[in-house]
Amino acid sequence: SISGRRRIVELRVPGSEKNVFQDLGREPFTISFEGELVGSRAIETLEELR
């Protein structure tokens, strides 16, 4: 599964009743999976995935 979030902040505007929203971009994605690695290169494959 893949999950991610965006960072959006609300900024108050001095002297105004309105606020401004600013998109500060996305945070790093988190990728997770389940399974088994088998075979003679299982540990090497795990290191490559990290």
- If you average pLDDT over residues 21-47, what whole number do you get? 89
**Angle subtended at Cα 42 by Cα 3 and Cα 38, rounded to the nearest 5 degrees:** 95
The CA distance from 46 to 23, in Å, is 35
Supply the pLDDT for residue 27: 82
Mean pLDDT for all residues in the chain: 88
Reply yes or no on whether the pLDDT at 19 is more than 80: yes
pLDDT band at residue 2, thresholds of 50, 70 and 90? low
Q: Mind giving me the DSSP string for 1-50?
A: -EE--EEEEEEEPTT-S-EEEEEEEEPPPEE-------STTHHHHHHHH-
Reply yes or no on whether the pLDDT at 3 is more than 80: no
Supply the pLDDT for residue 38: 94
- Phi, psi at 38, each rounded to 5°: -130, 160
